[in-house]
Structure 1
Amino acid sequence: MKAILLDFDGVVIRSMEDHYEGWRRALEEYGIEMSPEELYVLEGAGLEELAVQFTRKYNLPAEEKFNILQKKRLYYDQIKKLEYYPHLIELLDWIREKNLKSGLVTGGDRERVVEALENFGLQDRFDVIITADDVFQTKPSPEPYLKAAKAIEVEPGECVAIENAPLGILSARNAGMRCIAVATTLSPMYLKAADVVADNLEEVLKSLKKMY
């Protein structure tokens, strides 16, 4: 094990509830009710891809994806709360202590991710940041994780991904990486494809220590 690659939303920051509320309010304007699970199982696909999927799922005109996405971003900006998960700093400190490479691999856009990291003072804690802006295909494609591994010059098999959603787990596994899932947004039944399922980042760190 030479590198730890973390998803952002739902792993580093507690943001998925706010993302859901943004999507919920946007779709509510079309008379659509969406459950949290409907969003959480698709997490990692990227905002534009999510807008496309929702217009198809709810039989909306294809061109409405732009309006839905704009509304979602507006609502999210109004309600977002910046908070990182307990034990994150402990995890990042351990990664540094062991001289492991670290990275973020997210379906979010770069501007939002970098802004959040700067607010937390964590912008220098990652050797690479791969966002939806940096790839042709978002999760579940292996491209984001493969690009991160290449950037830090570590073989995929030497990387461990930390994920919280099925598409992210699939992306990491398709890239040839081991994966620890953390059940922050979905129950363990959705995360069975991971090598290990943890309840929180404290348990993630315990699992990493065993792997190391």
Structure 2
Amino acid sequence: MPLPPPDQPREPLHTRTIRVDSFAREDGQWDLEAELVDVKAYDFPTRHGQIKQAGSPIHHMHLRVTINDQFTITAAVADYDAAPYGEHCMQIAPDYRDLVGMNLLRNFRQAVKDRYARTAGCTHMSELAFVLPTVAVQTMANRRRKEQEQVKAGGRPKRPFQLEGCHALSLDSEVVREYYPEWYAAPINPSLRTDR
């Protein structure tokens, strides 16, 4: 369901688009390719007296990480098509190879903050990296579903990793009761549940 219409007339100013595509590789690993684009809805003068046209990217950056089946990054590459300070911004791209060795499911966002804090990185490239963990989980969803089916054939399956990952998937939720009944735990105090 879309947001309700605004209650006041308004003028568009800025659009940020983030897109991530994932790919299964022939070597058994996965590539996540992330892209961030920022555009303004109006023309404005640059520091050099030129006019930046509406819709022309201010930021346009790319980040590819390769992950193994444990969600550990085995390769990383960053690149820029547009940045507000040109080559001064772009020279940080090679430093994002330091993502290698980080695990997307083990404190990843904090590890990125620790490694690329303030002047050690690019704010926008690091922000782009922050979307990778949830995309990686979605990338592996079909594989994990097949693993669960194989385990189920041989006995009790392993608890699905997504349970307890958000309010809708808490073990005492209606969603878990309906879709994952073998993992459902009745609430200790039902009056405290907010989804009923």
Shared fold, TM over 0.5:
no
TM norm structure 1: 0.28
Hey, which of these two has a bigger chunk of helix by percent?
A: 1
- Greater per-residue strand proportion: 2
